[in-house]
């Protein structure tokens, strides 16, 4: 379902965004490369003071590479939900105007298409607006809040939750890893406010020349072709380069 969102969602005219919270980041020295004169490397202290932590709220659009971030000291629902509603409202406002709802039944089928196969599907309301955006996020309790989910339904957003242990399905995690490395490696922030400044300034620089993300990309296609050239064996994920001969007991011969 998540893969379909990345691949098929844009083909259906739906915007696809991902959401995640990064951190916590401590006021500790972060190892990494830095620009310094030869023979005079940056020396980081081996001790640090705990002056608070910082977190980062992230909304990321893989198709364009654009990100919306906000540094915070807490990701409680009272902080997270207003920020998500504000940013998602701005994202929807920037999309092309929604077409008029002519076929309510077809529109409901489009909503239900993103719940097929779920053990516990979300209860869709009776009246549904035109579906405009798919939002990939993890299944933290705050993301499952009834008030937040109902608000998403009213504005045309379908939340898609990654399964437990499936953070690799959320492309926002890849963006966060790049952002953290660029912002904090080789740094020794002294306060949570300094961490937030580093992260937000790095995100602003990223948005000036963003890199679009693709699901799988060419590497996934190479792996698919490689699998077609191998022969699967039952009982595990093993393959062989050539088919294994097996004995047909009825014909009493090898095949």
CATH code for the domain in which residue 84 is found: 3.30.420.10
Alpha-helical runs (H) found in the chain: 2-7, 77-94, 104-113, 146-155, 171-184, 192-208, 217-228
157 and 174 co-located in one domain: yes
The pLDDT value recorded for residue 184 is 85
238 and 132 co-located in one domain: no
Q: 154-189, pLDDT tens digit by residue?
A: 999 999 998 887 788 888 988 898 898 888 887 778
Print the domain residue range for 236. Answer: 217-254
Q: Residue range 97-126: average pLDDT?
A: 80
- Please give the residue that has the higher pLDDT: either 163 or 49: 163
- C-alpha distances (whole Å) from 50 to each of 27, 28, 141, 191, 194 are 6, 8, 28, 9, 13
- pTM score, whole prediction: 0.77
188 and 231 co-located in one domain: no
Q: Residue range 85-108: average pLDDT?
A: 87
Tell me if 9 sits within 8 A of 16, measured CB to CB. yes
pLDDT bin (cut points 50, 70, 90) of residue 39 is confident
Q: How many domains does the structure of the chain reveal?
A: 2
156 and 235 co-located in one domain: no
173 and 76 co-located in one domain: yes
Within 13 Å, how many C-alpha atoms sit on residue 37's CB side? 1
Is the pLDDT score of 254 beyond 60? no
Q: How far is CA 93 from the centre of its chain?
A: 22
148 and 25 co-located in one domain: yes
Is the pLDDT score of 251 beyond 60? no
Burial of 62 (C-beta count, 10 Å sphere; 0-12/13-18/19+): buried
Tell me if 162 sits within 8 A of 137, measured CB to CB. yes
The pLDDT value recorded for residue 87 is 95
Tell me if 57 sits within 8 A of 69, measured CB to CB. yes
Q: Residue range 39-49: average pLDDT?
A: 69
60 and 23 co-located in one domain: yes
The C-alpha atoms of residue 90 and residue 95 are separated, in whole angstroms, by 9
115 and 224 co-located in one domain: no
The conformational region for residue 162 under phi > 0 = left, psi -120 to 50 = alpha, else beta, is: beta
77 and 99 co-located in one domain: yes
139 and 179 co-located in one domain: yes
The pLDDT value recorded for residue 134 is 93
149 and 56 co-located in one domain: yes
> What's the mean per-residue pLDDT of the chain?
82
155 and 178 co-located in one domain: yes
**Phi/psi of residue 88, each to 5°?**
-65, -35
């Amino acid at each position: 379902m998540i893969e379909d969102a990345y691949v098929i969602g844009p083909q259906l005219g739906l915007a696809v965004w991902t959401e995640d919270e990064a951190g916590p980041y401590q006021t500790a020295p972060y190892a990494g490369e830095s620009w310094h004169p030869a023979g005079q490397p940056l020396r980081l202290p081996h001790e640090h003071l705990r002056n608070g932590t910082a977190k980062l709220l992230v909304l990321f659009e893989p198709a364009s590479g654009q990100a919306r971030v906000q540094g915070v000291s807490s990701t409680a629902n009272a902080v997270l939900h207003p920020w998500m509603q504000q940013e998602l409202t701005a994202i929807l406002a920037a999309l092309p105007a929604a077409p008029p709802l002519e076929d309510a039944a077809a529109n409901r089928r489009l909503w239900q298409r993103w719940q097929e196969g779920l053990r516990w599907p979300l209860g869709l309301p009776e009246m549904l607006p035109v579906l405009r955006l798919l939002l990939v996020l993890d299944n933290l309790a705050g993301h499952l809040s009834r008030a937040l989910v109902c608000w998403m339904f009213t504005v045309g957003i379908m939340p898609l939750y990654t399964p437990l242990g499936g953070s690799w399905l959320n492309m926002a995690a890849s963006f966060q890893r790049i952002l953290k490395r660029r912002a904090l490696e080789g740094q020794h922030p002294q306060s949570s406010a300094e961490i937030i400044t580093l992260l937000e300034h790095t995100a602003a620089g990223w948005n000036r020349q963003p890199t679009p993300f693709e699901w799988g990309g060419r590497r996934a296609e190479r792996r698919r072709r490689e699998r077609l050239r191998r022969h699967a064996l039952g009982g595990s994920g093993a393959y062989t380069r050539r088919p294994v001969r097996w004995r047909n007991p009825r014909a009493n011969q090898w095949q």
